[in-house]
Amino acid sequence: MPGSSIRWVTLPRSCLGVLKRFGVYLPPGFLPSGGPYPVLYLLRGHETEWVGMQDGRPGLRFILDRLIGEGLIDPLIVVLPGFMDRERRFQGIPVNWSADGGPHGVGNGRMEDHFFEVRTWVQRHLPVRTDRRGAAIDGFSMGGYSAVMLATRYPRLFGSIGAYDGSFMWPGQIDPRRPPHGRACRLWFSETCSVYFRRDGVWDRAKMERHNPITIIEKADGDRLKALKRLVFHLHVAGDERWGNVDRGHRMDLALQQRGIVNTFRKKGMVLDRRARHTWLWADRHLQATLPLHMEVFRSKSLQ
Alpha carbon distance 48, 80 (integer Å): 8
Write the Ramachandran bin of 140: left for phi over 0, alpha for psi from -120 to 50, otherwise beta: beta
Q: What's the CATH number where 138 sits?
A: 3.40.50.1820
Q: How many domains does the chain have?
A: 1
pLDDT class of 5 with cuts at 50, 70, 90: very high
* pLDDT tens readout for residues 93-126: 999 999 999 999 999 999 999 999 999 999 999 9
For the cut 60, the answer to whether the pLDDT of residue 303 exceeds it is no
* pLDDT tens readout for residues 216-266: 999 999 999 999 999 999 999 999 999 999 999 999 999 999 999 999 999
For the cut 80, the answer to whether the pLDDT of residue 304 exceeds it is no
Q: What is the pLDDT of residue 13?
A: 85
Contacts of 302 (CB under 8 A, 6+ apart): 133
* pLDDT tens readout for residues 185-225: 999 999 999 999 999 999 999 999 999 999 999 999 999 99
Alpha carbon distance 91, 102 (integer Å): 16
Handedness of CA 107, 113, 115, 118 (dihedral sign): negative
Helix (H) or strand (E) holding 77: strand 77-80
Q: Which domain holds residue 114?
A: 5-299
Contacts of 86 (CB under 8 A, 6+ apart): 104, 105, 106
Q: Is residue 304 part of a domain?
A: no
The alpha carbon of residue 142 and the mean position of all alpha carbons in its chain are separated, in whole angstroms, by: 8
* pLDDT tens readout for residues 138-156: 999 999 999 999 999 999 9
Cβ atoms < 10 Å from Cβ of 158: 25
Alpha carbon distance 91, 189 (integer Å): 12
Q: What is the pLDDT of residue 301?
A: 76
Q: Is residue 223 part of a domain?
A: yes
Alpha carbon distance 28, 137 (integer Å): 21
Alpha carbon distance 125, 33 (integer Å): 11
- Mean pLDDT for the stretch of residues 74-102: 97
* pLDDT tens readout for residues 46-76: 898 888 877 777 889 999 999 999 999 999 9
Q: What is the pLDDT of residue 60?
A: 95
Alpha carbon distance 195, 109 (integer Å): 9
Beta strands (DSSP E) in 176-284 are: 183-184, 198-199, 202-203, 232-236, 262-263
**Beta pairing class for 183-184 and 174-175:** antiparallel
Residue closest to 115 by CA, chosen among 89, 93, 134: 93
Q: Is residue 260 part of a domain?
A: yes
Q: What is the pLDDT of residue 209?
A: 99
- Mean pLDDT for the stretch of residues 25-50: 94
Alpha carbon distance 99, 59 (integer Å): 34
Q: What is the pLDDT of residue 286?
A: 98
**11 phi, psi to nearest 5 deg:** -70, 125
Q: What is the pLDDT of residue 103?
A: 93
One-letter identity of residue 258:
Q
In Å, what is the CA distance from 192 to each residue of 88, 197, 284, 285? Answer: 9, 10, 25, 27
Residue closest to 17 by CA, chosen among 101, 112, 85, 90: 101
Q: Is residue 98 part of a domain?
A: yes
The SS3 call for residue 201 is: coil
Orientation of helix 60-69 relative to helix 280-299, angle to 10°: 40
Q: What is the pLDDT of residue 265?
A: 98
* pLDDT tens readout for residues 260-298: 999 999 998 999 999 999 999 999 999 999 999 999 999
**93 phi, psi to nearest 5 deg:** -135, 155
- Does the global pTM surpass 0.75? yes
